[in-house]
């Protein structure tokens, strides 16, 4: 049996289930309590679970992410909500220099079972300071797991295994997906290990994640109308990358286009491209292509924002370039 949910509802259900099932789980962040969450993910939680488990915090990411780390070290299972990815920069020391390193620096004596959720991505006219896609920055860091749920099923199912993980997990939720709707199985079991093929194909592998997945699927539809069967691979887990799935798709299709909302220089797309070159170079019939955001701060004006971001038409053009 399946049910129709929005991405927003799926995330809310996942948190509600976690709070119901495990008294160690609590939610903390800016406006998660009385306001019901910036994106309404925690609406009604304060009334149901009380202020000890739904904690509104001061406007200090450095402080409340640090408090989450301490709670995790103390045996709790905190879900820390950072309003948007740009605000996570204020907590970089806590995430990168503390949570990610405790297991290593304690010689395995301590772990930090912490989940940090944050909205990411552009496409909503929230201007340069609120339109970052910094998933690749975090995927660079050993000691944390980085997830990018791009479907309703993943939004519903990834939180439970993230909370069960003994080490820090950072979940990037693309704000452009929040109103997306789809069918979800009643029993939603999702792993946080493997990439997933979202559309089978044989002519080109389109490899992507997060908010770019719907655009990649739209491009695949456009290509199908012209007789080009594109396979779409959703990375889902950005650290550790599922290299085997990437290589398998490239070996099957012999061409690859990587779609990444991050900027091209030093991007996650660059890492995926390097892994293809290292592991599947002799499988390729054409150079690897990348479709990334333009190397500018994301503009506010709608037409300029759309021009700066990966779009289905850009993906189609990149694919066709591999056949010329």
Name every residue whose Cβ is closer than 8 Å to that of residue 254 and which is 6 or more positions away in sequence: 283, 284, 285, 286
- How many Å apart are CA 37 and CA 22, to the nearest integer? 21
Please list the residues that pair with 171 across neighbouring strands.
117, 147
Locate 236 and state its tokens: 């889902």
**Known active-site residue 295:** no
> What is the Cα–Cα distance from 273 to 276, expressed in whole angstroms?
5
**Of 201, 197, 282, nearest in space to 245 by CA:** 197
Largest distance between two CA atoms of the chain = 61
Burial of 43 (0-12, 13-18, 19+ CB in 10 A): middle
Check 9, 30, 130, 261 and give the catalytic one. Answer: 130
Q: Which residue among the candidates 9, 13, 30, 61 is catalytic per the annotation?
A: 61
Only one residue has tokens 């496409």, namely 123
- 61 assigned to active site: yes
Which positions are annotated as active-site residues?
61, 130
């Amino acid at each position: 049996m399946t049910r129709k949910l929005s991405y927003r509802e799926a995330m809310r259900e996942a948190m509600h289930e976690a709070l119901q099932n495990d008294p160690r789980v609590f939610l903390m962040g800016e406006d998660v309590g009385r306001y019901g969450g910036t994106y309404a993910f925690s609406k009604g939680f304060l009334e149901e679970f009380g202020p000890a488990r739904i904690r509104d915090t001061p406007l200090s990411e450095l402080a409340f992410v640090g408090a989450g780390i301490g709670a995790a070290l103390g045996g709790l299972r905190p879900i820390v909500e950072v309003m948007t990815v740009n605000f996570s920069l204020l907590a970089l020391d806590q995430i990168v220099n503390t949570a990610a390193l405790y297991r290593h620096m304690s010689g395995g004596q301590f772990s930090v079972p912490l989940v940090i959720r944050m909205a990411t991505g552009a496409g909503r006219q929230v201007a340069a300071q609120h339109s970052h896609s910094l998933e690749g920055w975090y995927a660079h860091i050993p000691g944390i797991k980085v997830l990018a749920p791009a479907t309703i099923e993943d939004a519903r199912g990834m939180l439970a295994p993230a909370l069960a993980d003994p080490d820090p997990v950072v979940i990037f939720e693309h704000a452009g997906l929040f109103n997306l709707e789809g069918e979800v199985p009643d029993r939603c079991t999702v792993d946080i290990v493997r990439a997933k093929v979202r559309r089978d194909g044989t002519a080109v592998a389109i490899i992507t994640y997060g908010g770019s997945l719907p655009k990649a699927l739209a491009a695949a539809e456009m290509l199908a109308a012209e007789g080009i069967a594109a396979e779409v691979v959703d990375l889902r887990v950005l650290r550790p990358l599922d290299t085997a799935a990437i290589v398998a798709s490239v070996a099957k299709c012999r061409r690859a286009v990587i779609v990444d909302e991050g900027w091209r220089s030093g991007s996650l797309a660059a890492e995926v491209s390097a892994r293809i070159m290292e592991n599947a170079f002799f499988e390729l019939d054409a150079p690897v292509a990348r479709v990334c955001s333009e190397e500018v701060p994301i503009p506010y004006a709608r037409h300029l924002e759309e021009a700066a971001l990966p779009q289905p038409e850009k993906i189609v053009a990149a694919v066709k370039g591999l056949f010329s």
